[in-house]
């Protein structure tokens, strides 16, 4: 078997050769003999089926198996001849040619391997920056904002009608076609006018009401309302205004700090320190995501611009970017691409540079994470998803199952490793 090896670059190699008919026939005899021992055929004892019968019954399948066996041998020999370490091979071989000729099958297969990075000097491209720090005025304003939210509500002393932004206390009962519906009644309900908590039009009709006044408020439930029994229907609410309320005195003291921090030893100074920490962390996070991270990725990609990348992985990333663009296209645009295949190739060429940068960045993160000793355990990934679900008021177990079912956990883990790595390189830890 004659094999030609052509190393395109450090990450891609073409293995060429011919699957000789004699070798395929020899392989066919072998797989047929093996099959004759394993396949049961009526009228023959198991293991005693003639090879000719097996060939007649399963000739096409056996021929495919024989070709695959000879092809596998060619690939293995080519990999050995090229000096490729099997552990560095990425994905499946890519067929560039598979032409059946009189004497056999001419093949060209591209083997892609993990890129090689000489990472010396990567810290030289880390961007410099001034680490954000919360100002005293910003801390004071945030503490006052929290204190205002915690201040108790009390009935206003003035005799006036409801205005936009008021805190009100109301009773209400809802009717559709003069029939009370489930969930449409409440007493001593606290409603901030203008908060958008109720159906459009409800809060606006409370404006101008006086304490102890009763009024019928008419609204229409949205067509997409969660309850199908109410969606799109007009409802009348009998509303009674009980109180107009306002925030009481805003007090910032140790008692407030102890309540907010759930710590009986907390003081105003402790609260200020916690708020300073939160504001600083928020500012650093904003700077990192909007400026530092993109700058660092681009700097690293440029630093290692000459590194050869595995072509098969690049093409997968091109596919992903094309699919993402297709999701945003109109039906007319998609139809245009389907009718003109050459425009798809043009689009692929347009996104290839971006795809290469993405692939390079992914491999760089992997290499640098090992260099910096960065790891993320599976339980850390689960905890992070759990926390985010809780913060967005979703069921954590449902969200985690969604990530598992859609094989999204590896991407989340990679993102966490990336942020840990960049945080360390940029000096944002601690």
The CA–CA distances, whole Å, from 88 to 170, 303, 319 equal 70, 23, 23
Q: C-alpha angle 47/48/52, rounded to 5°?
A: 110
According to the model, what pLDDT value does residue 39 have?
78
| Beta bridge mates, 19 | 105
| Inter-CA distances, 274 with 134, 143, 222, 280, Å | 11, 10, 43, 10
Kindly list the averaged pLDDT for each block of 10 residues, start to end, along the chain of length 430: 91 95 88 76 73 76 88 94 95 93 92 94 94 93 90 85 93 94 92 92 95 95 89 95 88 90 92 94 94 96 95 95 91 88 91 96 96 94 90 88 94 95 88
What φ, ψ does residue 59 adopt, rounded to 5°?
-55, -45
pLDDT of residue 34: 79
Give CA separation, 335 vs 101, 150, 330, 342, in Å. Answer: 38, 57, 9, 13
Which domains are seen in the chain, by residue range?
Answer: 3-112 (3.30.70.1050), 116-150+265-308 (no CATH), 152-247 (3.10.50.40)
| Residue 277, token pair as written in the block | 């920490």
d(CA 73, CA 67): 10
- CB of 84 closer than 8 Å to CB of 13: yes
Can you give the pLDDT at residue 52?
Answer: 77
CA 15, 21, 23: angle at the middle one, nearest 5?
75
β partners of residue 235: 219
Using CA atoms, how far residue 9 sits from 203, 206, 318, in Å, is 68, 73, 20
CA distance 110 to 97: 10
Q: What is the pLDDT of residue 430?
A: 56
Residues with Cβ < 8 Å from 409, sequence gap 6 or more? 378, 381, 403
Percentages (nearest 5) of helix, strand, coil residues in the chain: 50, 20, 30
DSSP state of 292: I
Residues with Cβ within 8 Å of residue 245, at least 6 apart in sequence: 153, 154, 155, 156, 166, 167, 168, 169, 190
Question: Which of 242, 243, 259, 278 has its CA nearest to residue 151?
Answer: 259
**Predicted local confidence at residue 154, as pLDDT:** 83
- Please give the DSSP secondary-structure letter assigned to residue 132: P
Given the structure tokens 């905890």, which residue do they identify? 383
| Closest by Cα among 11, 20, 6, 143 to 81 | 6
End-to-end CA distance of the chain: 61
By CB atoms closer than 10 A (0-12, 13-18, 19+), residue 335 is: exposed
Kindly state the tokens that stand for 202: 């409800």
């Amino acid at each position: 078997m004659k094999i030609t090896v052509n190393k395109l670059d450090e990450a891609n190699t073409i293995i060429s050769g011919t699957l000789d008919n004699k070798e395929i026939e020899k392989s066919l005899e072998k797989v047929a003999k093996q099959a004759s021992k394993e396949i049961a055929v009526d009228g023959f004892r198991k293991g005693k089926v003639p090879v000719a019968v097996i060939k007649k019954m399963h000739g096409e399948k056996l021929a495919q198996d024989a070709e695959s066996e000879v092809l596998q041998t060619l690939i293995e020999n080519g990999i050995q001849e090229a000096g490729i370490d099997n552990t560095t091979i990425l994905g499946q071989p890519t067929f560039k040619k598979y032409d059946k000729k009189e004497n056999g099958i001419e093949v060209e297969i591209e083997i892609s391997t993990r890129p090689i990075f000489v990472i010396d000097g990567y810290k030289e491209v880390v961007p410099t920056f001034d680490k954000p720090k919360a100002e005293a005025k910003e801390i004071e304003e945030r503490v006052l904002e929290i204190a205002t939210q915690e201040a108790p509500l009390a009935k206003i002393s003035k005799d006036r009608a409801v205005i936009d932004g008021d805190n009100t206390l109301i009773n209400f009962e809802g009717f559709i076609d003069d029939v009370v519906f489930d969930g449409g009644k409440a007493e001593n309900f606290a409603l901030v006018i203008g908060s958008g908590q109720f159906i459009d039009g409800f809060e606006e009709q409370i404006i101008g009401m006086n304490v102890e006044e009763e009024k019928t408020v008419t609204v229409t439930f949205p067509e997409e309302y969660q309850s199908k029994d109410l969606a799109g229907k007009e409802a009348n609410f009998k509303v009674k205004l009980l109180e107009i309320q306002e925030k009481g005195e805003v007090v910032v003291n140790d008692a407030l700090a102890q309540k907010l921090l759930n710590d009986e030893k907390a003081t105003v100074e402790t609260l200020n320190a916690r708020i300073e920490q939160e504001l600083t962390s928020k500012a650093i996070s904003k700077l990192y995501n909007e400026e530092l991270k993109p700058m660092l990725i681009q700097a690293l990609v440029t630093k290692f611009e000459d590194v050869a990348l595995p072509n098969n992985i690049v093409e997968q990333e091109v596919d992903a970017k094309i699919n993402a663009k297709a999701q945003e296209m109109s039906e007319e645009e998609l139809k245009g691409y389907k009718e003109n295949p050459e425009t798809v190739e043009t689009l692929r060429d347009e996104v290839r540079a971006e795809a290469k940068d993405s692939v390079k960045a992914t491999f760089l993160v992997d290499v640098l994470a090992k260099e910096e000793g960065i790891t993320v355990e599976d339980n850390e990934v689960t905890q992070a998803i759990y926390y985010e679900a809780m913060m967005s008021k979703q069921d954590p177990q449902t969200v985690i199952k969604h990530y598992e079912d859609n094989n999204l956990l590896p991407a989340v883990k990679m993102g966490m490793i990336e942020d840990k790595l960049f945080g360390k390189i940029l000096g944002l830890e601690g």
